Amino acid sequence: MGKRRRAIKPGTRRAAAQAPSVRRGVLLLVAGMMTLLAVAGAGWWMMRSAENALPAAPARPPSIIGGVTGCRGIPRFVARLGYADRLGISTSERTHKGLVIFDGRVPVSADPAQRDIHQEPSWDDAGTLGPFVIDRDGHIYTAAVPRTAVSDNPPGSLNVVYRIDSETAVLQPFVTLPGAVGSSENPFGILGMAYDCDTHALYVSTVAGSTRQAEQGRIVRIDLASREISDEVIGVDAIGLAVFQGRAGKRLYIGLARSADVGSVALDAAGHATGEFRVDLALDERLAQFAEPRVRRISFDQTNMTLFVVPFAFNLRAVSEQQQVTLRYGYDAERDSWVPFPASIPASGRVNLRG
């Protein structure tokens, strides 16, 4: 299958990533994360009405600085279901297991009946879900993530990428990642996803095989046209993922699962990882009020980066949505680096995600 591998050398990371306090184990770390994902609305997306009225935008020239998801298409099935001009998507509803769509014009704090929540029969087949992305054809890709127990999801599902077909609205397995599966010490698999319009590729992070002592997670690149896993970045446990085209080239940005760092690795024209991992942002000083902060999602809006950060309680007890902090950074093209905005954005409800 022409599989490529590139190791991220542990020595390239800052010492904080190896500190004893963050070596307490992927199980507790990610378990706390997944509870927060469920409560804080990690999986939420909405197309504004003006965007819905237009066809999917073509991929922008790779030389233009900015995010790379502007081509995302509207799932074709939403018109049939009556959500074409009011689409919201969530994998974190307390009242529904799996994925749902709803009236995105209604505040998420409103009564569920007012939000007109809808779920197709297959959308809960994989149990509780976590990250999801949408490609240029309107297909939705997602993954199973347990919230309270492995029994939340079918056996063997945690390293499976699922796809909801844009035409049929049916959820089915799309690709199964190779390697380790969940265990009693670490029951988690896929935690992060990112889509690149330019190469029609999906980047997926998994922590399957990691233990409290060993970091065995990896990020894989999936060619969506062929379903081939054409690249692997080995040796990092990651949660948040996003791709950005900078002045010096395209990079895959990574929110680490074992520290409060955001790093990145360069991508070539075909979207394969190249070069060494670097740390772009160390967030400890900005998040001193949090114990064990982690970046659970990364989003790019033109030349701005938004980080969605949560603390960890190291248990499965649900926490309030207000414990999420959103940080914003502006891109300094001259230095190919990120500059923090003066203050963080106060925690609020869901945030519209745009290309």
pLDDT tens digits along 250-302 = 999 999 988 889 999 999 999 999 988 999 999 877 776 677 788 889 999 88
Average model confidence (pLDDT) for the chain? Answer: 78
Whats the size of the chain, residue-wise?
Answer: 355
Residue 116 in this model has a pLDDT that exceeds 90: yes
pTM of the model: 0.82
Quote the CA–CA distance of 338 and 283 in Å, as a whole number.
Answer: 12
Contact (Cβ atoms closer than 8 angstroms) between residue 207 and residue 237 = yes
E-assigned strands of 43-189?
44-46, 66-67, 87-90, 100-103, 129-134, 140-144, 160-164, 171-176
Residue 329 in this model has a pLDDT that exceeds 70: yes
State whether residue 130 is helix, strand or coil: strand
The tokens describing 255, both together, are 């929110």
Residue 50 in this model has a pLDDT that exceeds 90: no
Which residues touch 350 (CB under 8 Å, ≥6 apart)? 41, 44, 46, 108
Say what the pLDDT of residue 28 is: 42
Q: Please choose, from the candidates 188, 184, 193, 222, the residue with its C-alpha nearest in 3D space to the C-alpha of residue 208.
A: 188
Residue 137 in this model has a pLDDT that exceeds 80: yes
Q: Please choose, from the candidates 355, 199, 202, 201, the residue with its C-alpha nearest in 3D space to the C-alpha of residue 269.
A: 199
When pLDDT is cut at 50, 70 and 90, the band that residue 8 belongs to is: low
Quote the CA–CA distance of 308 and 312 in Å, as a whole number.
Answer: 13
**Residue listed under structure tokens 């265990």:** 183
Other Cβ atoms closer than 10 A to 312: 22
Residue type for 56, please? Answer: A
